[in-house]
Chains A and B, each alone.
Chain A
Amino acid sequence: MFTTLATLLSHYKRHPGQLAMLLLGLWVASALWSGVQAINASARDSYARAEALFTTGLDRLERRDGQPLTRDDYLRLRRAGLPISPLLEGTLEAPDGTRLTVIGIEPFTLPGDNAFATAGSLSSRPGDLTIFLTPPWQTRVAPDTLPALGVADRQAPGGEPRLVDGRPLPPLVLAPSLPPDTLVMDIAAAAMLLDSGETLSRLVTAPHALDEAPTGLVLSRAATLASPGQLTESFHLNLTAMALLALVVGLFIVQAALGLALEQRLAMLRTLRALGVSGRRLVGLLALELLLLGIIGALAGIVSGVWLARLLLPDVAATLGSLYGAGVTAELNLPWHYWVGGIAVTLGGLFLAGAGVLWRAARLSVLGLGQAQAWRAGFRRQLTFMTLAGALVALTGLVLWAWLAGQPPGEGLLAGFGLMAALLLASALWLPPLLAAFIAALERLARRRPLAQWALADLQLQLPRLSLAMMALLIALSANLGVSSMVGGFRLTFLDWLDQRLVADLYLRPPAEQFEEIETWLGERREVAERLPTRRIEATLYEVKRGGNTRDLALPTHLYGITPGDALMPSWPLLDTLAGRDAAWQAFGGGEAFINEQLAISEGLTPGDRLTLSAPRGQEQATVVAVYPDYGNTQGEVLFATAQLASRFGAPPGSIGIVLAAGADEAALGQALSQHFGLGSDSLVDQREVKRIATGIFERTFTITRALSALTLGVAALALLASLLAQARERRRQLAPLWALGIPRAQLVQVQLGQLGGAALVTGALAIPLGIVLALGLVAVINVAAFGWRLPLFLFPMEIALTLATAVAVALLATALPAITLWRTPPRALLAEEVNT
């Protein structure tokens, strides 16, 4: 057995390029997949830790007037018998500039079934609680926060690192289950560090321990505070889909390499069979060869994947933080099953890619084994199989599409991805038969031009080896075009939407206690043309009435208040109205509601529906008169006029948008505001800054999507290059007779470039409609299901031209290396290769 295996492997000694191509395919496929899975695993670990913390999972109490709660409020309510616990939350700056969240708790009253008691190990040893509660207190911290504090792991327990302002933290105690960049300590210690005096951030209570909010307070149910894991699910699904795409493209390289390696070993297989090695044993040994190669490729891929994840994780963490408010550690935290899973997925993919080749090897007859013709006849059968398999996959896609069409909008994220996958796979399977038919048609046209006829016939002969690389190129190009069209269209829509929404020149977030005073003061200033105060509150959407039907929902919902005025009304975008734009604004001012697209899609609401919402004085009703786009939000929202929200729902004050009069001095107003009211510099933000931040968040959100899309295209280019390099020597042998017959090498190089460039151009041309359909699927199905909003489809002629140019450039680049080798090969060496055939 060892001799047979060694004989089989000896092929790679003669053809190291093929071995490199195989390992390269496995490596890149595994690296991109493992990289994304590493990011997902780390993020999920962070979510799990955040969800285990008491900041989620508990009902919250805050003051209705927006002013901070005090220790007196807490004591009064506690004496009244309410099962509440105080919580203080703030931020401090670590020596390296990291913003650390400090949470001060009161362990005696904190609801007992929260994770802190176990994860924070308070109850693990007698006396721990006393140490936690009494000076010098304790700081509970996760190990991955230590680098920000400048503390080594060994020095951590008992260490007292200093903050950027020089103040020391209470002695550290490691609590691995805490989220990253979070410090938990006794509320007294937190109050000292945060200089918060008697104020509290909020009061918490076990879910549903209170039926209703005490007078003057607002109760937010834990259910309304969606966990980061839920919010970010679609984001991670998107990443996984992109990684799967890269894995598939990488496996195409593997299959191409395996096919080539086996085809060139046909004579060896025949000899081994003739020498008495059974077909079953031969296939078994080929499978063993796959396993050995797979393990090497998978290990290399996982190591590179971890490196890639380290590179991308900070951007992903920042995106998840800014988009969903989810804290994700920038340090990789990989569970054991990540490593096993990485190897299993790579090996599984390898055997999937190799199964076809093994099956073909097992079915070839001993007598026909050495003939290339038998192998080629196999390819012709394979083309028929590809056409049929493509039709089957397309049919599956049609079934999914029909199913999705029958679903309410926003449903079927997985089915949507399934539809995309079916579309890509069917197109990829149809590509080789299409290319073969196209080349055959051209051959008939080129009968009078011998060189062109030879070039086309030769390309037809190369097709079995090139088809997988071309399939990879098609998938990568169309995914690239689809993603870039979606992101580009989203960008245009988003920037437009920002312009429409951000009509004020300045945005002021005053302290709640000064809100009325500042608003009045602003009203008296000549440089202020209009004030646009906002408010925000959570409520429950109890029921929806449509016609005579009533539907019960009990849905936690955000209510947002805006000021419909001369500045806002003309520009605020509306997607759908009950009776036109003007009527919608008139009704809105009179107390009716707008809803955002997410809520409309997720609950199937339309203008004309009557909503019943929870309110301090029982229930409030409002008719939906318009639906508006809301790209900065991931959750449903009901919009009211600010005055209505304050009077009917008791919403606390939020921010004030300031529209300046013509020629008003923005800086002077800002200065006057801070002098009069002692506002910090971060209270007033100008519109440009808000747009800059929002655009920054947007760009970062799609950084990884774009990076993965570009990497996939890079992998496809590698697939093509690897395919060409692996057969470069044989190609030169095929070209040598033509050179000997009198075709100059320069012309042969041109023909090679033309062959591949032409095939890539056809592939690129097919990738365009496919990419457009993918973009349509992304904006009409995936985005609606993942984010809750629908985008118009934008097509960018430059992107399309770039796709075609990329296809040709990739092919020419991949052809360039073998072509240069041919160009630089001395004629005698070329001939020697030929003679040595």
Chain B
Amino acid sequence: MLEFRQVHKSYATPQGPLQVLDGIDLRLAAGESLALMGESGSGKSTLLHLAAGLDLPEAGEVSVAGQAISSLDEPARARLRRDTLGLVFQQFHLVPSLNVGDNLRLQARLARRCDPEWAAHLIERLGLSGMEKRYPEQLSGGQQQRLAIGRALAPRPALLLADEPTGNLDETSADEVLGLLLSLVSESGSALLMVTHSSQVAAPLDRCLRLTHGRLGPVDEREASHR
């Protein structure tokens, strides 16, 4: 489903180029879930953005569902995101002008894959019943993140990319949202790549890797003990 082959990425800084990813190799099979851990600024989000085609690698290849991202132009990458991927951001990024129902169905409708029954099921499972006519700013943080998860899963994407999906939530809400996310991913059959700095959040996932100094490696023993 997702493959990184010798991917390199750096950013220009006043102090010179900063190597963020240094020869990343990664494979994620269909239906598999993977947690990607690392310190702040370690390049986790950059890796996720490359997987989503939001950014391009300097060297190496990123493939999603068999398509090499670098070989696609911007509209094609946009189509790939629309049709194949689901994205959940730490900051929710809901569309403020659309109500809850329209926000949830937005990507599915853009991808022309809106399944009303699945959408209704998501709304119920996400605890958003009766709130469909509300606007995002009228929801709590936890409700907004649940809505963002629903929006990403509504088109039943082959791959869900989640960037610190519980980073902005309190502990109770975070547990609740994470449980829902994993349960719904399992129901939809999507593969999941989740970026997190919390070993507790990473624990329930199939695999867990740590990004350190631009390279991927296994998690240490203490982190593994949470699993």
A interface with B by C-beta (< 8 Å): 371-373, 450-451, 453-454, 457-458, 460-461, 734, 736-747, 827-828, 831, 834-835, 837
SS of A interface (majority): helix
Whole-angstrom distance between the alpha carbons of A197 and B8 in the complex?
Answer: 102
Residue B98 CB within 8 A of the other chain:
yes
Task: Name B49's closest neighbour in chain A (CB-CB).
Answer: A831
Which of B93, B98, B151 is the one whose CB lies under 8 Å from A457?
A: B98
CB pair B83 A454 closer than 8 Å: no
Chain A residues near B135 (CB-CB < 8 A): 373
Stretch at the interface among B99-107, B186-194, B214-222: B99-107
A740: B residues at CB distance < 8 A: 52, 54, 81, 87, 89, 93
A464 to chain B, nearest CB (A): 12
Q: By the criterion CB–CB under 8 Å, are A828 and B54 in contact?
A: yes
Chain B residue with Cβ nearest A828: B55
B226 contacts A by Cβ under 8 Å:
no
Task: Give the residues in chain B near A453, CB-CB below 8 Å.
Answer: 98, 102
Which residue of B75, B91, B93, B106 contacts A744 across the interface (Cβ within 8 Å)? Answer: B75
B: number of interface residues (CB 8 Å): 34
Instruction: Name the B residues within 8 Å of A828 (CB-CB).
Output: 49, 54-55
Is there an interface contact between A742 and B95, defined as CB atoms closer than 8 Å?
A: no
Separation in Å of the B153 CB from the closest CB of chain A? Answer: 13
With A and B bound together, what is the CA distance between A741 and B78 in angstroms?
7
**CB < 8 Å neighbour of A741 from B87, B91, B137, B138:** B87
B121 close to A (CB within 8 Å): no
A442 CB to closest chain B CB (Å) equals: 14
Q: How far is the CB of A627 from chain B (nearest CB, A)?
A: 61
Instruction: Considering the complex, give the chain B residue whose CB is closest to the CB of A742.
Output: B82
CB-defined A-B contacts under 8 Å, sample of 24: A373-B135, A373-B138, A450-B110, A453-B102, A454-B95, A454-B98, A454-B102, A454-B106, A457-B102, A458-B95, A461-B96, A737-B89, A737-B95, A740-B87, A741-B81, A741-B82, A741-B106, A742-B81, A742-B82, A743-B110, A744-B75, A747-B75, A828-B55, A831-B54
A744 → chain B closest CB, angstroms:
4
Are the CB atoms of A450 and B105 closer together than 8 Å? yes
B135-171 vs A, Cβ < 8 Å mask (1 yes, 0 no):
1011000000000000100000000000000000000
Select which of A742, A834, A835 is within 8 A of B110 by beta carbon: A742
Q: Given A827-B54, A828-B49, A831-B55 in contact, is the A742-B93 Cβ separation under 8 Å?
A: no
Q: Shortest beta-carbon distance, B175 to chain A, in Å?
A: 25
Q: B85-120: contact bitstring with A at CB < 8 Å (1 yes, 0 no)?
A: 101010101111110001001110111000000000
Q: Which of A371, A458, A740, A746: most chain B Cβ within 10 A?
A: A740
In the bound complex, CA of A481 to CA of B102 (Å): 41
| Interface contact B96-A734, CB-CB below 8 Å | yes
B199 part of interface (Cβ distance < 8 Å):
no
Q: Are A457 and B97 in contact (CB under 8 A)?
A: yes
Q: Does B45 lie at the interface of the complex (its beta carbon under 8 Å from any beta carbon of A)?
A: yes
Cross-chain contact B106 with A742 (CB below 8 angstroms): no
Q: With both chains docked as a complex, state the minimum distance between the C-beta of B158 and any C-beta of chain A, in angstroms.
A: 13
Q: Output the least CB separation between A373 and chain B (Å).
A: 5
Contacts of B75 in A (CB 8 A): 744, 746-747
Chain B residues with CB under 8 A of A461? 96-97
How far is it, in angstroms, between the C-alpha of A740 and the C-alpha of B74 when the chains are bound?
11
In the complex formed, the residue of A with least CB distance to B86 is A741
- B152: nearest chain-A partner, CB-CB: A741
A742 x B74 contact (CB < 8 A):
no
What is the chain A residue whose CB lies nearest that of B90?
A835
Closest to A462 in B: B97
Chain B residue with the shortest CB-CB distance to A738: B95
Which of A373, A743, A837 is in CB contact (< 8 Å) with B137? A373
Pair B111/A742 contact, Cβ less than 8 Å = yes
Residues of A within 8 A of B82 (CB): 741-743
- B93 neighbours in A (Cβ, 8 Å): 736-737, 740, 834, 837
Given A828-B49, A831-B49: A739 and B97 within 8 A (CB)?
no
CB distance from A731 to the nearest CB of B (A): 12
Closest residue to A736 on the B side, CB-wise? B93
Question: Nearest B residue to A831 by beta-carbon distance?
Answer: B54
Q: Mark B8-49, 1 if CB is under 8 A from A, else 0.
A: 000000000000000000000000000000000000010001
Contact of A458 with B97 in the complex, beta carbons under 8 Å = yes
Complex-state Cα separation, A372 to B136, whole angstroms: 11
Q: Are A371 and B54 in contact (CB under 8 A)?
A: no
B80 contacts partner chain A, Cβ-Cβ < 8 Å:
yes
A743:B91 contact, CB within 8 angstroms = no
By a CB distance below 8 angstroms, the chain B residues around A746 are 74-75
Contact residue among A736, A737, A744, A834 (Cβ-Cβ distance under 8 Å from B94): A737
Specify which chain B residues have a CB less than 8 angstroms from the CB of A734 in the assembled complex: 95-96
Given contacts A454-B97, A737-B89, A742-B83, 4 further A-B contacts (CB under 8 A): A454-B106, A458-B97, A739-B78, A740-B81
Least CB distance, B83 to chain A, in whole angstroms: 7
Complex CA gap A758/B54 in Å reads: 30
Is B79 engaged at the interface, CB distance under 8 Å to the other chain? yes
Residue of B nearest to A456 (CB): B97
* Contacting pair A835 B111 (CB below 8 A): no
Smallest Cβ-Cβ distance to A826: which chain B residue = B55
Most buried by B among A736, A747, A828: A828
- CB proximity of A735 to chain B, nearest CB, Å: 10
A738-B95, A742-B78 are contacts. A451–B110 as well, Cβ < 8 Å?
yes
Considering only CB atoms, which chain A residue lies closest to B83 in the complex? A742
Which residues of B sit under 8 angstroms from A371, Cβ to Cβ? Answer: 137
